[in-house]
Amino acid sequence: MALTSPKPATYEDLFDLPETLVGEIVNGRLVTHPRPAPRHARAYSLLGANLVGPYDKGVDGPGGWWILDEPELHLNADILVPDLAGWRRDRMPRLPDTAWFELAPDWVCEILSPSTARFDRVEKLPIYARHGVLHAWLVDPDLRTLEVFECREGKWLLLTVLENDAGVCQPPFDAITFSLGGLWAD
Q: What is the torsion angle, in degrees rounded to the nearest 10, for the CA atoms of residue 133, residue 104, residue 52 and residue 149?
A: -10
The domain segmentation of the chain, as residue ranges, is: 36-183
pLDDT tens for the chain, residues 1 to 186: 554 446 788 999 899 899 888 999 998 999 998 888 888 889 989 999 999 999 999 999 999 999 999 999 999 999 999 999 999 999 999 999 999 999 999 999 999 999 899 999 999 999 999 999 999 999 999 999 999 999 999 999 999 999 999 999 999 999 999 999 999 977
pTM of the model: 0.92
C-beta separation of 111 from 40 below 8 A:
yes
CATH topology of domain 36-183: tt1808, chain A (3.90.1570)
Q: Residue 41 burial by CB count (10 A; 0-12/13-18/19+): exposed, middle or buried? A: middle
